[in-house]
Structure 1
Amino acid sequence: MDIIYYTREEIESAREMDLLTYLRLYEPENLVHVGANVYSTREHDSLKISNGKWMWWSREFGGASALDYLIKVKGKSFPDAMAILTGRKENSPSSFSFSGSNKKPGRLLLPEKSESVREITEYLSKRGIARNIIEILIEDGLLYESLPQHSCIFVGKDGNGTPRYAAFRACSDERILGEAAGSDKSYPFRIEAPDSPVLHLFEGAIDLLSYATVRQRHSLKWNEENLLSMGGISVSKTGRKPIAIKRFLEENAHIDTIHIHFDKDAPGIRAAESLKNALGSSYQATVSPPPYGKDYNDYLQKLIKEDEEIWRSNYGYN
């Protein structure tokens, strides 16, 4: 096990981050505006934040910094809390990792739903996602816009249609993303095609939707094969299937072909090969990164740009 050392400057900097700032940056869907300058969290409604300090009234203790919160409320060790605040760890709140953990999830705390879908529609359209795909996901309850942050909420449901998982993504250029408290990663965000024996795996929801849009642009049915978001990646050290797909494969015994579309970078390639090995010989598994760019959204953007250039050329625009 590697030991990570932190400088005095890093520790002092971490202690300077107040809880409200931390929640706005890393857990926006867990933040609730109670009134005036008072905030709470969806996870613990008796935890109140005001004037740079916080108090967990039901437990009768409080603190001032995000570091205090991570240690006292989240139960993180000091090194783990520091790793989150300094970004020295892959599974910090601004990224994901899959895990074989059997830890039982708590009650899912879904972010409040906005009556509007304007901001998420504009954001996803800007990323190149087809408008009809966005509309179908909204209609099916797999996608909605949150309040008060107006983020994209990607929902995973169980066989009864009950939401069991939710991932959020800010509608901005900032990489603010994560999972709602109480999410069960064995019910990830996905698009199911019950009769298909083919499963496509992606690091995140945007990659999945980009691939679906690419299929549609190539005159293929975008939802005729199973598409599943892993909610992030990591390299498996146990050889076990990640919990994000374990249940899906158990409940869909007819799946025989799996395409792994992780990012075309060193972490993505390592995680894809690790996952392929974990799947074993029971499946025809292939590592299939995007044909261009780092991820499938890069590839989608390239296709869109090429079409625009052809249109300009045909109609005489420069």
Structure 2
Amino acid sequence: MYYTQEQIDRANQADLVSFLQSQGEQLTRAGNEYRWKRHDSLTVRGNKWYRHSQSKGGAPIDFVMEFFGKSFTEAVELLAGEKGATPPPDRPSPASFSDFRLPPRSTDNRTARNYLTAARRIDEDVTGFFFASGDIYEDATHHNAVFVGRDESGIPRYAHQRGTAGSFRLDVKGSDKAFNFCYRGEGERLFVFEAPIDLLSFLCLFKKDWQKQSYLALGGVGEKALLRFLSDRPNIKTVYLCLDSDNAGNDACSRLAELVPEGLTVHRLLPLYKDWNEVLQHRAEIADGKYIREAIYGLKEPPQEETVEIIRMSEVDTQTVEWLWEPYIPFGKVTIVQGNPGEGKTTFALRLAAACTTGGTLPGMKPLPPFQVIYQTAEDGLGDTVKPRLMEAEADLDRVLVIDEAKRELTLSDERIEKAITQNGARL
């Protein structure tokens, strides 16, 4: 059965007081709220409910699923008063969780609490947190520990039953493994485990500020819950794969790291023993709290953005410009002589070269000691044009140098230019 988001939103706007009264339930007014007689620690107001004994509340759909044992689609139908439609052919049906309903709750969680704290040695403050939120409870029929997975709206979409005696374990029918047992923090780190017991054990070992980060059990080694969690939580920047220290766990980590979206960092934390609960069981024997056998960093890294090199003007040394011919041609800088063909650019360049090699001057130029000049041309022949014109300008031909391009033509980025200047002491 298919419900549109509009129908789901409408169901979640249902007035819970009116709904409970329509179901024949007795309510007692308490200020602006109503207390439900069947669960006297639970109050409702408008479309919100809150169970004070467990510090937990929510919206109408999860209320009906939790307290009336309805599936998701049954809860929407009961609240909205309308049946769903057949899914459009181009849209997948949500039937995978249409039959999902939480197992009935025990009147207390004594057996499940004892199993987790005594048999699994999970600290009471950790188990108490999740019992209070309703994400762990004891089912009424078989007294299994039930681990609940919710979507971002807090609606139960998954439940895993773990036997409190023996090795029984089973996902509740209709569970959607994309919404596995987890804790959603506001931080940028996500710690990923194979099973809820491992997740809880890890919290006992690393308690400091644990509620700031996020933790997810995969219910095995599949990627479905991980990819959904990352899709729903764009704040996550770093993923820590905390799977079992065995071949299956190692292989899964390699595969999951490849599947994690680009831009995220992935690390691997290997427990000291096979899994985190085994580490917890031996906690008293482990010196210095070294519960991690190995941390493998950088299974996946975001692309490194190239750093732009910046120069601060406060760090620049002030220098004085040295002039060959002030204010036209400075030493150590590029000077461009521009003009139309036939206007004397080459004549000027050769006469300037001649003056520099002989200590001569041009109009307004201060005399300088003679120095070496490198002259390169791509137009004129050295023997029939350049040398005769240098001779005419009375240049010192021993001081006029040309980089030989017979084997390889010269370019402006050619390293031979710098070498020729350095090796020959040329200044122009």
Aligned equivalent of 1:302, options 261, 265, 282: 282
Match of 1:143 in 2: 136
Letter in 1 for 2:137: Y
Match of 1:119 in 2: 111
Letter in 2 for 1:298: E
Q: Is the 8 A contact 1:212 1:223 kept in 2?
A: no
Match of 2:269 in 1: 288
Q: Is the 8 A contact 1:199 1:259 kept in 2?
A: yes
Match of 2:150 in 1: 157
Q: Is the 8 A contact 2:107 2:140 kept in 1?
A: no
Mapped partners of 1:130, 1:286: distance in 2: 26
Mapped partners of 2:246, 2:286: distance in 1: 24
SS at match of 1:147: coil
Match of 1:105 in 2: 97
Q: Is the 8 A contact 1:200 1:260 kept in 2?
A: yes
Q: Sequence identity of aligned pairs in percent?
A: 29
Match of 2:393 in 1: none
CA 1:247–1:114: 2 relative to 1, 3 Å: same
Mapped partners of 2:114, 2:198: distance in 1: 17
Q: Is the 8 A contact 1:153 1:166 kept in 2?
A: yes
SS at match of 1:297: helix
Match of 1:166 in 2: 159
Deviations along 1:71-101, one digit per CA (max 9) or x if unpaired, are xxxxxxxxxxxxxxxxxxxxxxxxxxxxxxx
Compute the TM-score of the two structures, normalised by the length of structure 2: 0.43
Mapped partners of 1:256, 1:209: distance in 2: 22
Q: Offset at 1:186?
A: 1.6
Deviations along 1:243-289, one digit per CA (max 9) or x if unpaired, are 21222111211111000011001111111111111115421101212
Q: Is the 8 A contact 2:181 2:196 kept in 1?
A: yes
Q: Is 1:262 aligned with 2:262?
A: no
Q: Is the 8 A contact 2:97 2:157 kept in 1?
A: no
Mapped partners of 1:268, 1:260: distance in 2: 9
Q: Is 1:183 aligned with 2:171?
A: no
Mapped partners of 1:149, 1:108: distance in 2: 18
Q: Is 1:129 aligned with 2:109?
A: no
SS at match of 1:112: coil
Deviations along 1:8-58, one digit per CA (max 9) or x if unpaired, are xxxxxxxxxxxxxxxxxxxxxxxxxxxxxxxxxx99xxxxxxxxxxxxxxx
Mapped partners of 1:243, 1:170: distance in 2: 24
Q: Is 1:215 aligned with 2:206?
A: yes
Mapped partners of 1:134, 1:164: distance in 2: 21
Letter in 1 for 2:277: N
Match of 1:245 in 2: 226
CA 1:125–1:281: 2 relative to 1, 3 Å: same
SS at match of 2:198: helix
Structure of higher RCO (CA pairs closer than 8 Å, 6+ residues apart): 1
Mapped partners of 1:175, 1:233: distance in 2: 19
Mapped partners of 2:231, 2:262: distance in 1: 16
Q: Is the 8 A contact 1:138 1:144 kept in 2?
A: yes
Higher Rg of the two aligned structures? 2
Aligned equivalent of 1:230, options 210, 213, 218: 218
Mapped partners of 1:267, 1:103: distance in 2: 31
Mapped partners of 1:288, 1:136: distance in 2: 24
Mapped partners of 2:201, 2:98: distance in 1: 31
CA 1:223–1:304: 2 relative to 1, 3 Å: farther
Letter in 1 for 2:108: S
Mapped partners of 1:285, 1:178: distance in 2: 30
Letter in 2 for 1:223: Q
Aligned length: 195
SS at match of 2:206: helix
CA 1:305–1:125: 2 relative to 1, 3 Å: farther
Match of 2:323 in 1: none
Q: Offset at 1:306?
A: 5.1
Q: Offset at 1:103?
A: 7.9
Q: Offset at 1:305?
A: 4.4
Compute the TM-score of the two structures, normalised by the length of structure 1: 0.58
Q: Offset at 1:105?
A: 3.2
Show structure 1 runs of 5+ residues with no match.
1-41, 44-101, 235-241, 308-318
After TM superposition, the structure 1 = structure 2 runs for residues 61-76 of structure 1, keeping only pairs within 5 Å, are none
Mapped partners of 1:138, 1:246: distance in 2: 26
Mapped partners of 1:122, 1:221: distance in 2: 25
Aligned equivalent of 1:278, options 259, 266, 273: 259
Show structure 2 runs of 5+ residues with no match.
1-69, 72-93, 288-428
SS at match of 1:294: coil
Q: Is the 8 A contact 1:211 1:296 kept in 2?
A: yes
Q: Is the 8 A contact 1:128 1:304 kept in 2?
A: no
